[in-house]
Amino acid sequence: MIYYKCEIQEISITVISAVNYNELNLRNPEAFALGATVHDKIIYPLHKEPYAQYVVCDPVVELRESSVVTRKGEEIDFDVCVIATGTRYPYWLSKDEETIEARKKFIAEMNGKILAARTIVVGGGGPVGIEFAGDVKANYPEKRSSSIII
């Protein structure tokens, strides 16, 4: 997300991303527990980014002195380049879906597995594990759940 509103009116912001959406990763455990009820609260299309004049959904493959080149071969010039690599969870929460539709489908599939499970075991007692266990227990009190602290 772009939070800083520049005072200079002539500035042009281009967002270049491998995917066509932005996701609030910190809410992923809640999304997997609740499914479609929180999709639109944590995932939104990049073209709705309020301060971006241009959005390019194609990963950068080359960084040059004053331009970048995307996978499709488009060269985009810049005066200032900000590299914001984002956040990736190194486990089952993380996937590399390139479209918002594919990401929502993955979340729905994970939620379906939770709904079908009789018992749920959460490995790890860190913030994400505890939050996920709490979301599951709060929304599905009939399910047996336990946490394993590793």
Tell me the mean pLDDT in the region 10-21. 83
Measure the CA–CA gap between 10 and 62, rounded to whole angstroms: 27
> What is the pLDDT at residue 95?
63
The whole-chain average pLDDT of the chain stands at 79
pLDDT digits (tens, 9 = 90+) for 24-42: 776 777 777 777 677 777 7
Q: Is residue 93 part of a domain?
A: yes
Please choose, from the candidates 12, 14, 13, 22, the residue with its C-alpha nearest in 3D space to the C-alpha of residue 74: 14
> What is the pLDDT at residue 146?
61
> What is the pLDDT at residue 3?
47
Q: Is residue 7 part of a domain?
A: no
User: What would you report as the CA-atom Rg of the chain, rounded to the nearest whole angstrom?
Assistant: 19
Q: Is residue 131 part of a domain?
A: no
Please choose, from the candidates 122, 132, 124, 127, the residue with its C-alpha nearest in 3D space to the C-alpha of residue 150: 124
Q: Is residue 139 part of a domain?
A: no
Can you tell me which residue has the tokens 């060269």?
Answer: 75
Q: Is residue 25 part of a domain?
A: yes
Structural contact between residues 147 and 119, judged by C-beta atoms closer than 8 angstroms? no
Q: Provide the strand spans (E) within 3-150.
A: 14-17, 21-23, 43-45, 54-57, 60-63, 67-70, 75-77, 119-123, 144-148
Measure the CA–CA gap between 106 and 115, rounded to whole angstroms: 14
Q: Is residue 108 part of a domain?
A: yes
Range of the domain at 74: 14-116
Tell me the mean pLDDT in the region 43-60. 82
Which three-class secondary structure state does DSSP give residue 54? Answer: strand
pLDDT digits (tens, 9 = 90+) for 52-96: 788 888 989 999 999 999 999 999 999 889 888 776 665 555 666
Q: Is residue 150 part of a domain?
A: no
> What is the pLDDT at residue 67?
94
Which three-class secondary structure state does DSSP give residue 41? Answer: helix
Which three-class secondary structure state does DSSP give residue 113? Answer: helix
Tell me the mean pLDDT in the region 98-115. 85
**Structural domain total, the chain:** 1
> What is the pLDDT at residue 123?
78
Q: Is residue 9 part of a domain?
A: no
Which three-class secondary structure state does DSSP give residue 19? Answer: coil
> What is the pLDDT at residue 1?
44
